[in-house]
Structure 1
Amino acid sequence: MLKQRRSRSWPWSCSAGVPLAAWLFAGLAGCGAPAGEAPEAEVTEQQQPLLTQVTSFGSNPGNLQMFRHVPSGMPANAPLVVVMHGCTQGAAGMEGAGWSAAADVYKFYVVYPQQQGGNNMTRCFNWFEPGDFSRDRGEALSIKQMVDTMKATYSIDPSRVFVAGFSAGGYMTPALLAAYPDVFSAGAIHSGGPYRCAESMNAGFSCMSPGVNRTPAAWGDVVRGAYPGYAGPRPRVTIWHGTSDYTVNVMNLTEAMEQWTNVHGIDQTPDTVETVSGFPHKVYRDGAGNALVETWELTGMGHAVAMDAQFPFPGGTGSAVCGSVGAYLSDVNLCSVYHQVKFFGMTGGGGEPTGDTTPPTVNVTAPAKGATVSGTVNVTADAADAVGVTRVEFLVNGEVVSTDTQAPYAFAWNSTAVSNGQYTLGARAFDAAGNQATDDDTGVTVSNSGSPAPVTVQFASIAADDGYLKADADGSGAALGFMTNLALGRGTDGKYNRSFLSFDTSSLPDGATVTRAFLTVIYSSGSGDPWSTPAGNTLVIDAKTGTFNAANTEVTDWAAAATASSVAGIDRFSAGAKSSGDFSADGLSAISKTGKTQLRLRFTQAQTATQYLFIRDGANAVLTVVYAP
C-alpha cells in the first residue's frame, strides 16, 4: 500500500504561498521571479508510446510513479539509465530530450521516475527534504527500488547503472550518487547543483540562487557522510549548466564540480580544457588519466536541457535524432544526451566508430586570401570527415553569420553592409561524433567605392516603454502585460500575446539613407514550439514611425495599424540571441530620424495549443541600423 504524504511546495513560491509556476503567463507578473527570466511553464504532457508504466516496484515510500523504455533486441548484461525530470515536467518531458532514441541505438534500458502532485504541487522531486534525499528513505529509496525491479526483470549489468537529471532531477541526481554509490557508477547533473546544499524548502531558494559557497572539503564531507563506512569506488560525474540560467544560478556548476572532485581525491584544476560546438568543456582526471568529473558551460543558454534536433545518433537510423524542441528543451546544436551517454561509456556498441576523436577537415576555398572584394561575395568551403560532416558554420571576424548543412557549403556575404576595411573569413565544420575544426585565416579587404563608407549604429530598447498585450484571436479583450520578459504566442490562459519594443532613433542624421536594419532579441524561456501549429506559422515584425498611440503601449495597440507590416521575420529559436532578417524597404522607411521607432512582434497565425516564448527587453533587445551619411 502506498504511503499517503502531505503536499509540499517547491522552493519557488510567492509570499502568499502560491507556487511561482502557477502564476505563469495568465497575465500575472510572476511575483518573486528572478530578474531576467520568466517563471517556469505549467506543462501538460501526454505519455509517449515509447514509455510503459510499472505499477509495482517495492514498498515505494516516496509515492513516485515508474515508467520504463525497453528497446528491441536487448543483449544480456545491458546498461540501465535512470532519467529524472524537472519541475512541472513528467517522464515524457525528459523522454523528449532523446533518451529513448539513444537507448534504441546504444541498447540500454531507461527508467523514468515521475513525481506526483500529491507529493509536490509543482511536481518537483523533493531534493531539499532530508526524508527524501537520504539512503533507504523516501523518494531516494523509491528510485532505488525501481532499479532493483529492473534488475529482477531484465539482464542488467550491475556495474553499469547510471542516473541523469534536469533541474529538480538535477539536484536529485547527486543525492542518489551520494546515498547509493554501490548502485550507481556515474551520473549527469543538468541544471542542478551539489548534494545537500539545502535541507529545507526555504534553504532551497538560496541554493538555487545565488547559490551556496562551501570549500571542496566541506562539500566532499556531506557526500561521504551519506553512506558512512562505504569504502568502494565513487561515481563519476558530468555536470551541465546554462550560463544564462536565472532559475538555478550557474554557480551551482562550480560548487558541484568542487564537491565531486574532492570526493574523488583530485584537485579543482582541469586537465583538459577545450571548446566543443562552441561551448567550454573541462575534464578533471586522476593520476592514471581517467576522466572522473567533467563540466559543460552552455554559453548563453537559460534553464533548459541542451539538445540538437538535427543530430543523428551515430550508429542509428535516420529517425534516431537527439530529441525535439519543447518545454525546457533548447536546441543549441549540442546533444547533451549523446555526450552524457558517451561519458557513461555506452556509445561504442551501437555501430559508432569507438573513440572517434578525429576532427573533420575544413578549408575556405573562396574568396582567395588577400583578395579585395565588394558587393555580394560568394564564400565557399570544403569539409570532409570519416563519419560525416553534420554542418559548416561561416564566420566573419570570428562571429557566426551563416550555417550550411549540405555540400557544397556556401553563403552569400553582403559586403556593402559593413564598412570598408580588413576582414577575416572563416569556416567551422562539425562531424557526427561531435568533433570540430576551424579554418579562420582568410583575410580580405572590403572596398565598395563610389559612395561613403556605411555607418552602423545600435539602439537598445527602452525598457520603460516596452511591454506585451494579450487578446483573443480577433484582437478583442486586450489587456496589458508588463514584466522583465515579453511574451509571444498563446499562453495558458488561451490568450494570444504580442510584444512591443521601443527605440529612440532620433540620433540618426536627418539626411541619412538607411540601407539596412535588423532586430536582435534574446530568448528567456518558453513552452513548446509556437512556430509549429498551424503549419507554416511565422514570427514577424511590424514597424511604426513614432509609437502606435500617444501613450507608449495601449490595449488597442494589439491590432493597431503599423507604418509598415511584416517588415522582417524571425526564424524559430529556443536559446540565446536571434537576429531577424533584414528589414524590407518599407521597414527601413519607417525608422524615425526625429524620435522613437516602435516594433511590434507577432505570430501571423493563432496557435492551436499552448505554445509561447519569452524574450528579454531593454539592453537585451537591439535594433541595428546601417546608413549612408
Structure 2
Amino acid sequence: MKLNFLTQMREAAQQIISKGIPLQRGAPKAPAMRDINPPPPSAAPSTPEPKPAPEPARPQAAPPAATPNPATHPAEYAQDILNRMGISVDLQANLDRAIDFGTLLNPSPAQPLPEGAQFVSGSYVNHAGSRNYKLYIPASYHGQAMPLLVMLHGCTQNPDDFAAGTQMNQVAEEMGCFVVYPEQTANANHSKCWNWFNAIDQQRGQGEPSIIAGIAQQIIDEYPVNERQVYIAGLSAGGAMAVIVGTLYPELFAAVGVHSGLPFASAQDLPSALSAMKRGMQGAAKAGNGSQPIIVFHGDSDTTVNPVNGEQVMAQRLHNHRGARPSVQSGAVPNGYRYTQTTHTRQDGTPLGEHWVVHGAGHAWSGGSASGSYTDAKGPDASREMLRFFRTVS
C-alpha cells in the first residue's frame, strides 16, 4: 500500500514536470487584486503624495534544495513533491501511524518456555564480522549429546519471531535437539535479509557463511553436540543462505532444510536476485557432491519466490544421482491445503531428498503459528517434517 501510493505520487510528479508546470514550495501565491471600485475623484485638487521610500534590498533567496532520489529515498521524494504542490501533509507521520515498523521488525515477544528449558543469547565474531544468536536448550537436556539445528530467519524477522512462528523449539523439545537462531543485523542488510545474492557471501571462509558456520562450531565446542547430527534450515532469504552454507560446509552439516528458498549461487547482485526470485535461476548450476540430503518446502502460490526455485534446489542436489528412485504421494491437511510429497532415494533405499509442494500456499512457513510472521497454519507441519527427515538421514 505504501509503495503503491509512492508510485502514484512519483507518476503524478512526472506528469506535472513533463507538462512544463513549475513546482513551487509552499502554497501558490495569489495574484495581486485590482480595486474594482475606486473612490470618485475629488473636486479639489489633491496634494501630490510624496514618493514612497525605496524598499531595502531583499536578500537573495537560497537555491532550492535538491530533489531526493526516488530510488533511494522514496518517502523523502514523495514528501518533497507534496511540499512543492502546496499540499500540507506530513507523509512520514501518516505512514508511521499506518505501519508500526517496530512491530514489523520485532513482531512477537519471546514465547514462554517449558520448565527447565532455556533460550539463551550469545554472540560470535570472526574476521568477516559478528552476529548475535539465540540458543534453545530443551528441558530434556542433562548433559547428554544431542543433535544441533541451525535456523536462519527470513527478512524483517528475528530469532524470537522465527522461533514463535515455526514452533521449532516445541518440536525440538519433543525430539531432544539444540536449536540455534543466528540473527541478521540491519547494518548488514536494511531489511535484515541474509545476503545470499552477494558474491562474497557465496564463498567458503568468507562473509556470512563463515559467520554462520562459526556459530554452529561455537555451539559444538561449548555443548555436547552429536557432530554427525548437525543440520541447517531457513526460510526465504534464510533458506537461500541455508543452501549456500550447507554446500560450502558439507563436513559440518549432515543435511539441509529449505523453505521458500533459492538454489546455490542463483544471483550475484540485487538485479539478478530479483530476477531469480521472479523467474527462477537462469541455467541452474550444479552444486554440492550429492552426499548431503535435503528437504524442500514451497507453496505453489508463492508470488515472492517463484516455486520453480524449489524444483531447481532439488535438481542441484540430485545431479549426481540419476538413478535415484522418486516416489510421489499426495495428502491434505484437515481443513487446510493439499500437498504433494516427492521422495528421492538411493538404490539401497537411503534417503536423498524430499520435495513438498503445498498447493495454494504462499510465501509462509507451512504449518506455522500465527504468533510469528510469515506463517500459514493450513499447511503440513514443515518443522516436524524437517526434524523427522533429519533424523532419518543421520
Work out whether the TM-score is over 0.5.
yes
Residue in structure 2 matched with residue 331 of structure 1 by the alignment: 377
Asked if 1:63 corresponds to 2:63, the answer is: no
Separation in structure 2 between the aligned mates of residue 334 and residue 167 of structure 1, nearest angstrom: 17
Separation in structure 2 between the aligned mates of residue 266 and residue 42 of structure 1, nearest angstrom: 42
Change (3 A) 1:244 1:268: farther
Change (3 A) 1:333 1:258: closer
Asked if 1:273 corresponds to 2:328, the answer is: yes
> CA shift at 1:65, angstroms?
1.6
Separation in structure 2 between the aligned mates of residue 43 and residue 141 of structure 1, nearest angstrom: 25
Matches within 5 A, 1:454-465: none
Query: Structure 2 length as normaliser, TM-score?
Result: 0.68
**Conservation of the 8 A alpha-carbon contact between 1:43 and 1:327:** no
Change (3 A) 1:330 1:252: same
**Conservation of the 8 A alpha-carbon contact between 1:261 and 1:268:** no
Residue in structure 2 matched with residue 557 of structure 1 by the alignment: none
1:246 to 288, 291, 303: 303
> CA shift at 1:147, angstroms?
1.0
> CA shift at 1:347, angstroms?
12
> CA shift at 1:125, angstroms?
0.5
> CA shift at 1:149, angstroms?
1.1
Separation in structure 2 between the aligned mates of residue 189 and residue 80 of structure 1, nearest angstrom: 16
**Conservation of the 8 A alpha-carbon contact between 1:164 and 1:188:** yes
Separation in structure 2 between the aligned mates of residue 112 and residue 160 of structure 1, nearest angstrom: 17
Paired residue type of 2:329: E
When structure 1 is superposed on structure 2, of 70-79 and 41-50 the one drifting more is 41-50
Residue in structure 1 matched with residue 366 of structure 2 by the alignment: 306
Deviation track 1:401-451 (CA, whole Å, cap 9, x = no partner) reads xxxxxxxxxxxxxxxxxxxxxxxxxxxxxxxxxxxxxxxxxxxxxxxxxxx
2:171 to 102, 114, 128: 102
- Secondary structure of 1:102's counterpart equals helix
Asked if 1:285 corresponds to 2:345, the answer is: yes
> CA shift at 1:42, angstroms?
3.2
**Conservation of the 8 A alpha-carbon contact between 2:146 and 2:176:** yes
Asked if 1:342 corresponds to 2:388, the answer is: yes
Paired residue type of 2:383: V
Residue in structure 2 matched with residue 258 of structure 1 by the alignment: 315
Separation in structure 2 between the aligned mates of residue 99 and residue 133 of structure 1, nearest angstrom: 26
Asked if 1:125 corresponds to 2:185, the answer is: no
> CA shift at 1:210, angstroms?
1.2
> CA shift at 1:259, angstroms?
0.4
1:78 to 135, 146, 159: 146
Q: Which runs of 5+ in 2 are unaligned?
A: 1-5, 8-69, 76-90, 97-102, 114-118, 333-337
> CA shift at 1:77, angstroms?
2.2
Paired residue type of 2:104: E
Separation in structure 1 between the aligned mates of residue 339 and residue 210 of structure 2, nearest angstrom: 36
> CA shift at 1:269, angstroms?
7.2
> CA shift at 1:61, angstroms?
2.0
- Secondary structure of 2:279's counterpart equals coil
Deviation track 1:479-521 (CA, whole Å, cap 9, x = no partner) reads xxxxxxxxxxxxxxxxxxxxxxxxxxxxxxxxxxxxxxxxxxx
Separation in structure 2 between the aligned mates of residue 64 and residue 307 of structure 1, nearest angstrom: 28
**Conservation of the 8 A alpha-carbon contact between 1:210 and 1:249:** yes
Asked if 1:156 corresponds to 2:225, the answer is: yes
> CA shift at 1:274, angstroms?
0.1
> CA shift at 1:326, angstroms?
3.4
Separation in structure 2 between the aligned mates of residue 290 and residue 340 of structure 1, nearest angstrom: 16
- Secondary structure of 1:165's counterpart equals strand
> CA shift at 1:67, angstroms?
1.1
> CA shift at 1:209, angstroms?
0.7
Q: Could you say what the CA RMSD is over the residues aligned between the two structures, in angstroms?
A: 2.8
Change (3 A) 1:17 1:270: farther
Change (3 A) 1:18 1:68: farther
Residue in structure 2 matched with residue 16 of structure 1 by the alignment: 71
> CA shift at 1:76, angstroms?
2.1
Residue in structure 2 matched with residue 210 of structure 1 by the alignment: 279
**Conservation of the 8 A alpha-carbon contact between 1:127 and 1:175:** yes
Separation in structure 2 between the aligned mates of residue 130 and residue 65 of structure 1, nearest angstrom: 23
**Conservation of the 8 A alpha-carbon contact between 1:98 and 1:337:** yes
1:138 to 192, 207, 222: 207
Asked if 1:198 corresponds to 2:255, the answer is: no
Separation in structure 2 between the aligned mates of residue 268 and residue 123 of structure 1, nearest angstrom: 40
> CA shift at 1:270, angstroms?
5.6
Higher share in strand = 1
Residue in structure 2 matched with residue 44 of structure 1 by the alignment: 106
Change (3 A) 1:101 1:200: same
Change (3 A) 1:19 1:209: farther
Matches within 5 A, 1:356-505: none
> CA shift at 1:43, angstroms?
3.6
**Conservation of the 8 A alpha-carbon contact between 1:268 and 1:284:** no
Deviation track 1:95-130 (CA, whole Å, cap 9, x = no partner) reads 011111111111110000110101000000011112
Residue in structure 2 matched with residue 90 of structure 1 by the alignment: 158
Separation in structure 1 between the aligned mates of residue 393 and residue 324 of structure 2, nearest angstrom: 27
Matches within 5 A, 1:508-527: none
Separation in structure 1 between the aligned mates of residue 144 and residue 125 of structure 2, nearest angstrom: 24
Higher share in helix = 2
Separation in structure 2 between the aligned mates of residue 85 and residue 325 of structure 1, nearest angstrom: 15
Matches within 5 A, 1:549-564: none
**Conservation of the 8 A alpha-carbon contact between 1:213 and 1:255:** no
Query: Structure 1 length as normaliser, TM-score?
Result: 0.44
**Conservation of the 8 A alpha-carbon contact between 2:296 and 2:354:** yes
**Conservation of the 8 A alpha-carbon contact between 1:62 and 1:140:** no
> CA shift at 1:145, angstroms?
1.1
The structure with more radius of gyration: 2
> CA shift at 1:48, angstroms?
4.3
> CA shift at 1:346, angstroms?
6.8
> CA shift at 1:324, angstroms?
4.1
**Conservation of the 8 A alpha-carbon contact between 2:147 and 2:177:** yes
> CA shift at 1:258, angstroms?
0.7
Separation in structure 1 between the aligned mates of residue 367 and residue 196 of structure 2, nearest angstrom: 25
> CA shift at 1:17, angstroms?
2.7
Paired residue type of 1:282: T
- Secondary structure of 2:155's counterpart equals coil
Separation in structure 2 between the aligned mates of residue 19 and residue 89 of structure 1, nearest angstrom: 23
> CA shift at 1:251, angstroms?
0.8
1:188 to 244, 257, 272: 257
> CA shift at 1:49, angstroms?
5.5
Separation in structure 2 between the aligned mates of residue 120 and residue 294 of structure 1, nearest angstrom: 31
Identity %: 26
**Conservation of the 8 A alpha-carbon contact between 2:300 and 2:357:** yes
Separation in structure 2 between the aligned mates of residue 79 and residue 255 of structure 1, nearest angstrom: 28
Aligned length: 292
Change (3 A) 1:18 1:106: farther
Separation in structure 2 between the aligned mates of residue 237 and residue 98 of structure 1, nearest angstrom: 20
2:183 to 104, 114, 119: 114
> CA shift at 1:60, angstroms?
6.2
When structure 1 is superposed on structure 2, of 270-279 and 104-113 the one drifting more is 270-279
Change (3 A) 1:173 1:104: same
